[in-house]
Amino acid sequence: MKSLSINDFEAEVIPSAELVRMMSKIAEQKQATEPTPAKEGWKMRAVGKALLVIGSLYFAIHILVWAVK
């Protein structure tokens, strides 16, 4: 981090451009570690789809058996 000295090293300030760079770097790191909605819940979506397929096959087989009788 770069800083500027004012009044012969009595006070140091950080330029706003450096603050912006630091904040954007922190935001990028935080975003990289946070799970995205696409990653969350993919197992539950797979289970839901499997249940829908099994339920629809069960229903279709029963209709087919009823129609053949």
What's the whole-number mean pLDDT along residues 62-68? Answer: 93
- pLDDT reported for residue 57: 96
* Helix (H), strand (E) at residue 13: strand 11-13
**Interatomic CA distance for residues 42 and 37, integer angstroms:** 9
Could you give the number of structural domains in the chain? Answer: 2
Residue 69: what pLDDT?
82
DSSP 1: -
Q: Are 50 and 66 within one domain?
A: yes
Give how far the C-alpha of residue 66 lies from the chain's centroid of Cα atoms, to the nearest Å. 47
Could you tell me the residue range of the domain that residue 25 belongs to?
Answer: 1-34
Mind listing the pLDDT tens digit for each residue in 3-56?
Answer: 555 666 666 666 677 777 888 888 888 877 766 666 667 888 899 999 999 999
Domain check: are 19 and 1 in the same one?
A: yes
3-state helix, strand, coil in the chain (%, to 5): 65, 10, 25
Could you report how far apart the first and last alpha carbons of the chain are, in Å? 81
